[in-house]
Amino acid sequence: MTANTLTAETEKRAAALSSVVAAVGLTTFKIVVGISTGSLGILAEAAHSGLDLLAALMTFFAVRLSGKPADDQHLYGHGKIENLSALFETLLLLVTCVWIIYEAVQRLFFRHVEIEVTFWAFLVMAVSIAVDFTRSRVLYRAARKHNSQALEADALHFSTDIWSSSVVILGLIGVKVAELHPQWGILRQADAVAALVVALIVIYISLQLGGRAIQALLDAAPQGQVRAIQEAVERLPGVIDCHQVRVRYSGPQPFVDAHILVAPEMDFPEVHTLTEEVERIIQTLLPGADVTVHPEPASRVPPET
């Protein structure tokens, strides 16, 4: 493992660990305030943060394991552990949404729960927004730098938490207004409505994360990437045609296979030099890619791409 790889793994683990620490603090704070005030919106956020903690732990361990080098049983490395982590995170979030929606419907139509809106209720949500903003920036920075889907999934998740926390604050404001102005008593339901909105936000983000994780596990290449590789390679002098390009990811690590047609009069050293140039141009498009190039004589008719 190179020094650059070690540095990348260390930075990814540090970003994931900071998310774990933040999740522990937020979950504890929200549970205490949610129970003391009786706010379903805050309790929904506490459950959400509890799953954030599990997701952050999964991401931390996924990043650690995905960094292991390839071995005899895992020839493409262990990168897909990150994709599995993102998929499992999606399932956890969807389970939480079921509970939140059930409890919100109960409070809206079948059961009355008195909510005490205090300074602490607003403080915990404000702190949550500040922490989520900070850790989402840290995770996004590390995800972009090291092309980590697990860290990017966490970052996207926590950035949307900012909006869901804002919705809960609006719900608490509605309850407080109803306390001060009884004629607006319908606003007492604002907390349960806010919880429903939180659940819908989480479902939307969960489906996005789950779809991306499934696409990665199915080796789906990003749209337009294959065509971009073909066009770049075909611009190289000596390459007559580029076809049968295959791109797959194992976590953050891209793997590319490509076939090229070369002039039949080229000798072996010239073809070897050309394949190295093809590898270089592909790695310009996909930094760090593991590239395999198969040269063929131009007299052979290229297969359909």
Query: Comparing 223-227, 230-234, 276-280, which segment has the lowest mean pLDDT?
Result: 223-227
Residues 225-297, CATH architecture: 2-Layer Sandwich (3.30)
- Global pTM reads 0.61
82 neighbors 150 (Cβ within 8 angstroms):
yes
Q: What is the pLDDT of residues 39-86, one digit of tens each?
A: 666 777 677 677 777 777 777 777 776 667 666 776 666 667 777 777
> pLDDT tens digit string along 169-201?
777 787 777 777 777 766 667 767 777 877 787
DSSP string covering 33-47, please?
HHHHHT-HHHHHHHH
User: Could you give the CA distance from residue 10 to residue 83 in angstroms, rounded to a whole number?
Assistant: 19
Domain extent listing, the chain: 3-217, 225-297
Q: Which CATH architecture has domain 3-217?
A: Up-down Bundle (1.20)
Question: Please, are residues 230 and 282 in contact by the beta-carbon 8 Å criterion?
Answer: no
So what's the pLDDT on residue 304? 54
Residue 244 has what DSSP assignment? E
Q: Which two tokens stand for residue 106?
A: 């109960």
User: 115 phi and psi, to 5 degrees?
Assistant: -115, 130
Q: Tell which residue, 117, 116, 139, 119, has the closest CA to residue 127.
A: 119
User: Residue 70: CB partners within 8 Å, gap ≥ 6?
Assistant: 76, 77, 78
Q: Which residue do the tokens 């840290």 mark?
A: 138
Residue 4 has pLDDT above 90, yes or no: no
Structure tokens given for 168: 């809960």
Backbone angles phi, psi at 281, to 5 degrees: -70, -35
Assign residue 254 a region: left if phi > 0, alpha if psi is -120 to 50, beta otherwise?
Answer: beta
Nearest one of 261, 259, 246, 256 to 289, comparing CA atoms:
256
